[in-house]
């Protein structure tokens, strides 16, 4: 069994009471579900039922679950895709704070993208997917759905996009990093994005900090890089708020008990 990098989460005292009340009453409450969420969750459920298969070209740390490059869409959606509870949290983050520009590293099947997009029609999305077959599958899905957001889906690896000027100096106020799964890469992406691509007030979501000890150590280094930010440890996911009127520091949040 793979030992979670974030195993300390399980024995650390939770600090939900340090957050503004609406976090616990609404954002972290899985019983509070806005109607806009269900379009995205239906997209996830339909992918789980899919009988299609694609060939994956993996540009990151690989998969702990899949041994073949040929993978069923249903397996990718159920194993690797953003799940219900985290998707609901992401959706409500956009609904609550109304960011305008999202940068997503790791589109995959677009499940996470949909959770963000359906929360606000005013959210412009730039999302990057390195695998060509995954990119084509997801682009066709997005085109057929007629999503009302402005979505710029880029087929390239993260380093090439971030280092080439392909983003044209664009600034983002919400960033979702969900790919590669190597701690050193996560640190590099985070530092470059913070230095070049963020608005002064921003939210950065780092998925799979629990993937390995390497990933969790990268997350810990990030949390020690600026003591003015608010860092939330949600077990699988780390969330960083910069420029918001929240208490600064590192908070381990009770979240996984209500997952489904």
On whether the CB atoms of residues 17 and 28 are closer than 8 A, the answer is no
pLDDT at residue 196 is higher than 60 = yes
On whether the CB atoms of residues 103 and 197 are closer than 8 A, the answer is yes
pLDDT at 57: 84
pLDDT at 60: 53
Residue pLDDT, tens place only, 149-179: 899 999 999 999 999 989 988 999 999 999 8
pLDDT at 65: 53
pLDDT at 80: 85
pLDDT at 180: 83
Give the pLDDT band (50/70/90) at residue 68: low
Report the C-alpha gap between 248 and 228 in whole angstroms.
5
97-113 burial by CB neighbour count: b if 16+ within 10 A, else e? bebebbbbbbbbbbbbb
pLDDT at residue 211 is higher than 60 = yes
Residue pLDDT, tens place only, 76-109: 999 989 999 999 999 999 999 999 999 999 999 9
For 124, how many CA atoms within 13 A lie in the half-sphere containing its CB?
7
Report the C-alpha gap between 121 and 24 in whole angstroms.
25
pLDDT at 63: 45
Lowest-pLDDT choice from 61-70, 152-161, 207-216: 61-70
Q: Where are the domains of the chain?
A: 14-258
Long-range contacts of 230-236 (CB under 8 A, 24+ apart): 232/19, 233/6, 233/9, 233/209, 234/86, 234/89, 235/6, 235/9, 235/210, 236/6, 236/86, 236/207, 236/208, 236/209, 236/210
On whether the CB atoms of residues 44 and 77 are closer than 8 A, the answer is yes
75-95 burial by CB neighbour count: b if 16+ within 10 A, else e? ebbbebbbbbbbbbbbbbbbb
Which of the listed CATH numbers 3.40.50.300, 3.40.50.150, 3.30.230.70, 3.40.710.10 matches domain 14-258?
Answer: 3.40.50.150
Report the C-alpha gap between 171 and 194 in whole angstroms.
10
On whether the CB atoms of residues 108 and 80 are closer than 8 A, the answer is yes
Q: What is the mean pLDDT of residues 57-67?
A: 55
pLDDT at residue 260 is higher than 50 = no
The model's pTM: 0.93
Report the C-alpha gap between 53 and 63 in whole angstroms.
16
Across all residues in the chain, what is the average pLDDT? 92
Q: What is the mean pLDDT of residues 60-68?
A: 50
């Amino acid at each position: 069994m793979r030992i979670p990098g974030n195993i300390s989460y399980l024995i650390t005292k939770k600090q939900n009471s340090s957050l503004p009340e609406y976090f616990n009453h609404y954002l972290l409450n899985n019983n509070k579900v806005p109607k806009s969420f269900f379009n995205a969750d239906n997209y996830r459920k339909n992918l789980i039922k899919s009988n299609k298969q694609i060939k994956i070209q993996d540009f990151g740390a690989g998969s702990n679950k899949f041994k073949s490059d040929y993978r069923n869409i249903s397996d990718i959606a159920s194993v690797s895709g953003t799940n219900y509870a985290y998707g609901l949290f992401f959706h409500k983050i956009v609904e609550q704070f109304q960011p305008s520009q999202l940068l997503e590293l790791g589109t995959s099947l677009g499940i996470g993208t949909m959770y963000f997009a359906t929360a606000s029609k005013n959210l412009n999305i730039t999302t990057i997917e390195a695998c060509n077959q995954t990119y084509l599958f997801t682009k066709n899905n997005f085109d057929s759905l007629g999503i009302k957001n402005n979505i710029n889906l880029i087929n390239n690896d993260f380093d090439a996009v971030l280092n080439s000027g392909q983003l044209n100096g664009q600034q983002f106020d919400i960033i979702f990093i969900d790919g590669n799964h190597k701690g050193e890469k996560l640190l590099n992406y985070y530092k470059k994005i913070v230095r070049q691509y963020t608005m002064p007030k921003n939210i950065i979501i780092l998925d799979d900090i629990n993937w390995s000890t390497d990933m969790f150590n990268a997350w810990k280094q990030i949390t020690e890089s600026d003591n003015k930010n608010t860092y939330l440890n949600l077990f699988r996911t780390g969330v960083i708020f910069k420029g918001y009127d929240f208490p600064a520091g590192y908070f381990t949040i009770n979240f996984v008990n209500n997952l489904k």
